A and B are shown apart, each in its own frame.
Chain A
Amino acid sequence: MAQPGRVSRRTTLCLGAAVSCLPLFHIRTAGAAGRLSVGFWDHWVPGANAVMQRLVDRWAAANKVDVRVDFITSVGSKNLLTIAAEAEARTGHDIQAFPTWEVQDHAEHLAPMDDVVGRLVSAHGRMAPLIDYLAKVDGSYRAVPAISGSQYKPACARIDIFRDHAGMDLQAVFPAAAEMGPGYDSWTWEAFLKAAGQCFKAGAPFGLPMGQTSDAVDWVGALFNGFGAELVNAAGDVTVRSDAVRQVLDYAKRLMPLLPPDVYSWDDASNNRALISGKSALIFNPPSAWAVAVRDNPTVGAQCWTHPPPAGPKGRFTPFLPYFWGVWNFSANQEAAKDLIEFLSQRAQAEALCTASHGYDIPAFAGMLDFPVWAEEGPPKGTLYNYPVRPQHHAAASIAAWPAPPDLAVQIYNQATMTKMIARVAQSGETIERTIAWAEAELSGFRR
């Protein structure tokens, strides 16, 4: 067991120097090891799994490794159940696709990936700082940001409704071009509030969920971050009693009456349905809602335009939910597993995956944003151009509860503390101060 391990460690060092001769090497190293079982995320976009399977097969054939791929859905949190069970039992797949927070949760069972991440960054450009926040534990990367499944949640809005009722030409302000248009800088949460009011009056309110699922938490997280409202700071102190938090709650109090009254019970599919049915002028979502609109309600689909979320006093934040590929440290074939991950993260494979998912997938590396898929998808052509965070957006990829220490942040995120605060203020009519006191008690319970 130790022998092939040592050999392949040496060979991976060589690999760093000569990525181009990748396939040649693997015939000797990984081929000796034989078997690999992989649990990838079951992609929502039809056809994306098949491309992934083809890529894996190609690697498997070149390296004479017997690879078995299971596509595990996130529906019903099935992937979380499987990951938790595998971590407990110390058995299961060699590679798993870990949703956003899961790398932190299972870091002690994950093999370090610093070598792979280092080579990928030097070849494909830097990653969003958020990746370090989510995947680096005790100074070492425990997983590689995955192409498949990683998503942004920018705004997806109706061109016609915004033009007719909010006096805003989305395609002019957020053109599919290297520069943002005139008026981009005034696209703030205040402007957003005004537009929300106008669209509400026009009978097409914004579809912003305020339940406890991830679509709700993500956009609210971007709102909090934009106001600089931290529930827990980076040092782990509860800092919810702040003017920034009061500001954001006050803002929410003004915004919520302009939304459909039932948003408190919306789930991740409700906002999609609101957009697809044509009843809503704006949602925060990856392109899946638009794609279904194109299929089921083409007139609506052709009027959708994806663009960055508004900015707050403390900056502009786009919700980012990356997936990660990690290797269990109880896997019997870690070197081959790492090789496969590195292979899939190369430019050609990444582009194949992004294209197969019609632009849904987001590579974490800055050098990969020039894939043509986002400029070409339509109708309307270029609607996804601003789906990935681009330099001209002056936006940061962010996640709710950042920058709290991840073991606290994961609880704030999954227990939806922020949306519950807004619901308390706006739905139950509690005072802002009492809501903050409630949140303080809640947050102190997360630190155990």
Chain B
Amino acid sequence: MEERRVAETLRAAGAVAASSAPWSRMSPRGGGLRRFARRRSSVAVLLCLPLLALIGGLVLYPALYAVWLAMLNKHMTRFVGLGNFLFLLHRPAFQAVILQSVIFAVSAVVFKALIGFLLAHLLHAVPGRSQRVWRGLLLLPWVIPLAMSTLGWWWLFDPSYSAFNWVLNVFGVPSVPGLGATWWARFSVILVNVWYGAPFFMIMYLAALKSVPEQLYEAAAIDGAGAWARLRYITLPMMRNILSITILFSLIVTFANFDIVRILTAGGPQDQTHIFATYAFVAGIQSGDIPLGAAISLFMLPILALGAVFVLRGITRRSAEQAG
């Protein structure tokens, strides 16, 4: 059905093109311009211009400015090169921040991906109408604005009137210091991040699952492939690009996360839940050392960028192979 629509629009497009053709013969100068405009690469660049302007003006330029900021001394009067970064590396407090950021981002992304993958499979197995209901319910965490839902979590964790602890107490389990003790607090901020991000993985994977041709599975079933083999040899290879792009995207934004930790623990207890963005906030904004804050925020960028380039190259290569 879709193909017919395409064919129709195609015919219409051809008709328009034909009717406008005489114009180009009438004015030679306009024709030159028109030829330029019809040249493939110039049109292509023109179409990308808004994107380039947006990224260049509102991301690249301020990012370079921030890099420059990160290389100044505290009062922004002297250029210190990589001094701020070296200073940070030698601080035990910052080493702890690096460790916690890695724990936070990696474990959150792993659980988001696993839960998302599992849920996508479960949903895929459920028939049409009820699938719609389930996936609507399960997508809710991703839909509620994060700052709002984190406030809700905070209220659930509230130390003196924790709704969780009330439930635990009913079952005779002693109260848990959800945000008060190091590992519980780490667990809690990761839990909230997983809660928020897993539905996004779920929906991306579900979309990917739906696009895997059913014939492949039927063929595999005839060949006697079990569930594991189908997963290993059909589902995973078909989903490889989407898996890597969602994990990459999620890893980047999780490393940059601010709202969850800031609202839930503000880095406590004893700085054990600080991650880059929240620590940068304390050092840069609250303690009036903007260059140091910028340096903290920039710290992960080279490492993540390197990883991202590899992942993206892999994706482009695979797409090219598929196309070719």
Binding site for B on A (CB under 8 A): 76-77, 80-81, 84, 88, 101-102, 104-106, 108, 211-213, 260-267, 270, 273-274, 277, 279, 407, 410-411, 414-416, 420, 423-424, 427-428, 441-442, 445, 448
Sample of 17 more A-B contacts, CB < 8 Å, known A260-B159, A279-B160: A76-B262, A77-B285, A80-B285, A84-B284, A84-B285, A108-B75, A211-B268, A212-B268, A212-B271, A261-B180, A265-B265, A266-B160, A277-B160, A423-B269, A427-B269, A448-B87, A448-B292
List B contacts of A423 (CB < 8 A): 269-270
Q: How far is the CA of A105 from the CA of B285 in the complex (A)?
A: 10
- Contacting pair B270 A270 (CB below 8 A): no
Q: CB-CB contacts of B194-217 with A at 8 A, as 1s and 0s?
A: 000000000000000000000000
Interface residues on B, range: 35 or more
| Chain B positions 77-98 with a Cβ under 8 Å from a chain A Cβ | 87, 91-93
- Contacting pair B180 A264 (CB below 8 A): yes
Is B177 interfacial (CB-CB < 8 Å)?
Answer: yes
- Contacting pair B93 A265 (CB below 8 A): no
List B contacts of A101 (CB < 8 A): 288
B320 CB, min distance to chain A CBs, angstroms: 44
- Contacting pair B287 A414 (CB below 8 A): yes
B280 CB, min distance to chain A CBs, angstroms: 12
B282 CB, min distance to chain A CBs, angstroms: 6
From known contacts A211-B269, A213-B266, infer whether A262 and B288 are also in contact, taking CB-CB under 8 Å: no
**CB < 8 Å neighbour of B160 from A88, A270, A407, A442:** A270
Name the CB-closest residue of A to B65. A88
Name the CB-closest residue of A to B259. A76
A109 CB, min distance to chain B CBs, angstroms: 11
- Contacting pair A104 B290 (CB below 8 A): no
- Contacting pair B268 A273 (CB below 8 A): no
| Chain B positions 264-313 with a Cβ under 8 Å from a chain A Cβ | 265-271, 281-282, 284-290, 292
Is B120 interfacial (CB-CB < 8 Å)?
Answer: no
Is B190 interfacial (CB-CB < 8 Å)?
Answer: no
Q: How far is the CA of A274 from the CA of B267 in the complex (A)?
A: 22
List B contacts of A428 (CB < 8 A): 270
- Contacting pair A265 B269 (CB below 8 A): yes
**CB < 8 Å neighbour of B180 from A84, A262, A445:** A262
Q: How far is the CA of A261 from the CA of B268 in the complex (A)?
A: 15
- Contacting pair A420 B271 (CB below 8 A): yes
- Contacting pair B266 A212 (CB below 8 A): yes
**CB < 8 Å neighbour of A273 from B74, B160, B179:** B160
Q: CB-CB contacts of B152-185 with A at 8 A, as 1s and 0s?
A: 0000001111000000000000010111110001
- Contacting pair A420 B160 (CB below 8 A): no
Name the CB-closest residue of B to A85. B285
Name the CB-closest residue of B to A213. B266
- Contacting pair B282 A415 (CB below 8 A): yes
From known contacts A420-B270, A423-B270, infer whether A262 and B177 are also in contact, taking CB-CB under 8 Å: yes
List A contacts of B290 (CB < 8 A): 84, 88
List A contacts of B288 (CB < 8 A): 101-102, 104-106, 407, 410
- Contacting pair B161 A273 (CB below 8 A): yes
**CB < 8 Å neighbour of B286 from A77, A265, A273, A427:** A77
Interface pairs (14), CB distance under 8 Å: A76-B262, A77-B281, A84-B285, A211-B266, A211-B268, A213-B266, A273-B158, A410-B286, A411-B289, A415-B271, A424-B270, A427-B181, A445-B87, A448-B292
From known contacts A77-B286, A211-B269, A415-B287, infer whether A265 and B91 are also in contact, taking CB-CB under 8 Å: no
List A contacts of B179 (CB < 8 A): 265
Name the CB-closest residue of B to A108. B75
Residue of B262, B268, B285 with highest tally of chain A CB at under 10 A: B268
List A contacts of B269 (CB < 8 A): 211-212, 264-265, 423, 427
- Contacting pair A265 B268 (CB below 8 A): yes
Q: How far is the CA of A105 from the CA of B289 in the complex (A)?
A: 8
A9 CB, min distance to chain B CBs, angstroms: 28
List B contacts of A76 (CB < 8 A): 262
Name the CB-closest residue of B to A414. B286
A103 CB, min distance to chain B CBs, angstroms: 10
| 4 A-B pairs with least C-beta separation | A105-B288, A265-B180, A262-B159, A265-B179
- Contacting pair B177 A445 (CB below 8 A): no
List B contacts of A274 (CB < 8 A): 160
Name the CB-closest residue of A to B177. A262
B7 CB, min distance to chain A CBs, angstroms: 54
List A contacts of B160 (CB < 8 A): 260, 262, 266, 270, 273-274, 277, 279
- Contacting pair B185 A81 (CB below 8 A): no
Q: How far is the CA of A420 from the CA of B271 in the complex (A)?
A: 8
- Contacting pair A411 B287 (CB below 8 A): yes
**CB < 8 Å neighbour of A261 from B158, B177, B262, B282:** B177
List A contacts of B265 (CB < 8 A): 265
- Contacting pair A448 B158 (CB below 8 A): no
Q: How far is the CA of A263 from the CA of B158 in the complex (A)?
A: 11
List B contacts of A108 (CB < 8 A): 75
A446 CB, min distance to chain B CBs, angstroms: 8
From known contacts A212-B266, A264-B268, A265-B269, infer whether A277 and B180 are also in contact, taking CB-CB under 8 Å: no
List B contacts of A441 (CB < 8 A): 92
Q: How far is the CA of A344 from the CA of B63 in the complex (A)?
A: 41
Residue of A101, A262, A270, A415 with highest tally of chain B CB at under 10 A: A262
List A contacts of B178 (CB < 8 A): 265
List B contacts of A424 (CB < 8 A): 270
List B contacts of A104 (CB < 8 A): 288
From known contacts A212-B266, A260-B160, A277-B161, infer whether A414 and B177 are also in contact, taking CB-CB under 8 Å: no
**CB < 8 Å neighbour of A265 from B74, B185, B262, B289:** B185
Q: How far is the CA of A264 from the CA of B265 in the complex (A)?
A: 10
List B contacts of A84 (CB < 8 A): 284-285, 290
List A contacts of B92 (CB < 8 A): 441-442
List A contacts of B91 (CB < 8 A): 445
Q: How far is the CA of A448 from the CA of B159 in the complex (A)?
A: 36
B155 CB, min distance to chain A CBs, angstroms: 10
Name the CB-closest residue of B to A84. B285
Q: CB-CB contacts of B88-128 with A at 8 A, as 1s and 0s?
A: 00011100000000000000000000000000000000000
Q: How far is the CA of A424 from the CA of B272 in the complex (A)?
A: 12
**CB < 8 Å neighbour of A267 from B75, B161, B177, B266:** B266
Q: How far is the CA of A340 from the CA of B265 in the complex (A)?
A: 39
Q: How far is the CA of A260 from the CA of B161 in the complex (A)?
A: 12
Name the CB-closest residue of A to B87. A448
- Contacting pair B266 A266 (CB below 8 A): no
Q: How far is the CA of A394 from the CA of B180 in the complex (A)?
A: 36
Residue of B75, B285, B286 with highest tally of chain A CB at under 10 A: B286
Residue of A106, A211, A442 with highest tally of chain B CB at under 10 A: A211
